[in-house]
Amino acid sequence: WPATAARTSGAVTIGGVDVRELAERYGTPLYVLDEEDVRSRCRDFRAAFEGSDVHYAGKAFLCKELVRWIDDEGLGLDVCSGGELAVALSVGFPAERITMHGNNKSAAELESALAAGVGRIVLDSFEEIARLGALAERLDVRPKVLIRVTTGVEAHTHEFIATAHDDQKFGLSLSSGAAAEGVRRVLDQPRLELVGLHSHIGSQIVDTAGFEVAARRLAVLLVEIRERHGLVLPELDLGGGYGIAYVEADTTPDIKVIADGLREIVAKVCANAGLPIPRLTVEPGRSIVGPGGVTLYEVGTVKDVEGLRTYVSVDGGMSDNVRTALYGADYTARLASRESEAAPMLSRIVGKHCESGDIVVRDHWLPADLVAGDLLAVAATGAYCRSLASNYNYLPKPAVVAVKDGISRLIVRGESVDDLLRGQL
């Protein structure tokens, strides 16, 4: 829950705003984002990684207003599609502080990144190295690039969000020699300025050992590149992936400890080889916007399935939060519109979609007097909920509202069914 979440006169308030007022004014389901929570996490990251660059990974959640906060707080921004780039540029985010990612950027996406003058492009394949080299020649520019290296680290997280073991689609493998070959190919492209290496081992990681192993392997590769090519690369981008708490029992890594550990490892490898210490970049997404987000739902039906549990249906579901269905993610919820002294009942919070995998919270104790019209709040939904939302069953995507100091502001309008019909012929 965001630090500002509290219970006053029975109902939950977030950022000083009563959830009943939010539901009344903006409707449900509703994504609520605690502005101060997001901003303070930006500051915490900058403080922990002082002397390094912190880039917010926009895939976690991106909209114009969030880009403004990120800019205000002095972070850089990672984008991984032309669409994300367009959002950033639409509010004048400085292109120099943008890094462009993606394992299959289209020629058009690469071209718009070059035209905008983004600070860094992370190259993910041999084809892309050639493609960007040719494009840069045609546009008469010389972009700064990094090579995404697959470090072979087995991150302890869900298979779909682990990205540094060898058998997955991202990057050029260190163990097979593809990464070293990538370096050679980039150096053969006079129009590409190789400034460093990149690694991202996965997401929602709480065991921080993997970050350190990956950092050490990248630093060792820096040393090898100097030996082989006589070239000193000035940058290492160590990706994101820092886990957050979804339920009370979850532990979270200490960002300051991670920062110190990474700096120390890189410094040691480089010092031993007489190499200057490279500038580090990290790319947190979830750990910036996740904890500050809460989704509000209205209960529609409460169905007791004899002897098993109670199914509580809410007015959204896997279209606004697919993480439970997709990754078996855990969430916690609370009755938010009133207080209840009723005994707890084992509940499953489900959505309104036409499949039984449409689960928001798999197992949860909710008060037994729950009725239609009650509001439920689900915690830690700021990351990868709105950004992964769909229109399954023609459900319009919910609005996003920012709250701060007792004031709420619409930052993304909710869709209407008319919006969904607009593109159809």
Look-up of token digits 């109902």: 11
362 is in an annotated binding site: no
H or E element in which residue 184 lies: helix 178-187
- Give yes or no: 270 in active site: no
Beta bridge partners of 13: 6, 18
Nearest to 43 by CA among 408, 35, 95: 35
Residue 57 in contact with ligand LLP, rule: CB under 6 A: yes
148 is in an annotated binding site: no
Residues near 410 by beta carbon (within 8 Å), at least 6 away in sequence: 26, 399, 400, 401
Minimum distance of ligand LLP from residue 290's CB (angstroms) = 8
Single out the residue of 18, 35, 78, 235 in contact with ligand LLP (rule: CB under 6 A).
78
Residue 285 in contact with ligand LLP, rule: CB under 6 A: yes
171 phi, psi to nearest 5 deg? 75, -175
Residue 351 in contact with ligand LLP, rule: CB under 6 A: no
Q: Measured from the CB atom, is 20 or 397 closer to ligand LLP?
A: 397
367 is in an annotated binding site: no
Residue 217 in contact with ligand LLP, rule: CB under 6 A: no
Q: Measured from the CB atom, is 240 or 367 closer to ligand LLP?
A: 240
Contacting range for ligand LLP; rule: CB under 6 A; set: 25-33, 209-217, 281-289, 348-356: 281-289
Identify whether 396 is preceded by a cis peptide bond (ω within 30 of 0): no
Residue 245 in contact with ligand LLP, rule: CB under 6 A: no
Single out the residue of 13, 52, 125, 203 in contact with ligand LLP (rule: CB under 6 A).
203
Name which of residues 314 to 343 contact ligand LLP (CB under 6 A). Answer: 323, 327
Beta bridge partners of 377: 296, 334
Q: Are strands 359-367 and 375-379 parallel, antiparallel or unpaired?
A: unpaired
Distance CA 55, CA 281 (A): 7
Look-up of token digits 């990248």: 218
Q: Measured from the CB atom, is 20 or 386 closer to ligand LLP?
A: 386
Single out the residue of 241, 291, 292, 398 in contact with ligand LLP (rule: CB under 6 A).
241
284 is in an annotated binding site: yes
Distance CA 323, CA 319 (A): 10
Residues in the chain: 425
Name which of residues 131 to 190 contact ligand LLP (CB under 6 A). Answer: 161
Single out the residue of 287, 319, 324, 347 in contact with ligand LLP (rule: CB under 6 A).
287
Of 42, 63, 80, 354, which residue is the catalytic one? 354
Q: Measured from the CB atom, is 29 or 239 closer to ligand LLP?
A: 239
Site string for ligand LLP, 79-118 (x = CB under 6 A): ----------------------x-----------------
Minimum distance of ligand LLP from residue 413's CB (angstroms) = 23
323 is in an annotated binding site: yes
Q: Measured from the CB atom, is 150 or 287 closer to ligand LLP?
A: 287
User: 348-363: buried (b, 16+ CB within 10 Å) or exposed (e) per residue?
Assistant: bbbbbbeeeebbbbee
Nearest to 225 by CA among 265, 268, 168, 278: 278
Q: Measured from the CB atom, is 239 or 316 closer to ligand LLP?
A: 239
Single out the residue of 26, 69, 242, 331 in contact with ligand LLP (rule: CB under 6 A).
242
What is the secondary structure of 42-101 as a DSSP string? HHHHHHHTTTSEEEEEGGG---HHHHHHHHHTT-EEEE-SHHHHHHHHHTT--GGGEEE-
Q: Measured from the CB atom, is 311 or 392 closer to ligand LLP?
A: 392
Residue 240 in contact with ligand LLP, rule: CB under 6 A: yes
Distance CA 333, CA 340 (A): 14
In sequence order, what E strands does 241-340 have?
A: 279-282, 293-305, 309-314, 333-335
Minimum distance of ligand LLP from residue 294's CB (angstroms) = 16
Single out the residue of 196, 214, 384, 395 in contact with ligand LLP (rule: CB under 6 A).
384
What is the secondary structure of 121-172 as a DSSP string? EEE-SHHHHHHHHHHHHHHT---EEEEEEE-----SS-GGGB--SSSSSSSE
By CB under 6 A, the count of residues binding ligand LLP is 22
Q: With H, G, I as helix, E, B as strand and everything else as coil, classify residue 229.
A: helix
Single out the residue of 35, 124, 283, 358 in contact with ligand LLP (rule: CB under 6 A).
283
Residue ranges binding ligand LLP (CB under 6 A): 57, 59-60, 78, 101, 161, 200, 203-204, 239-242, 283-287, 323, 327, 384, 388
Binding residues for substrate: 286, 323, 327, 355, 384
Which residues are documented as binding site for pyridoxal 5'-phosphate? 241, 283-286, 384
Supply the residues annotated as catalytic. Answer: 354
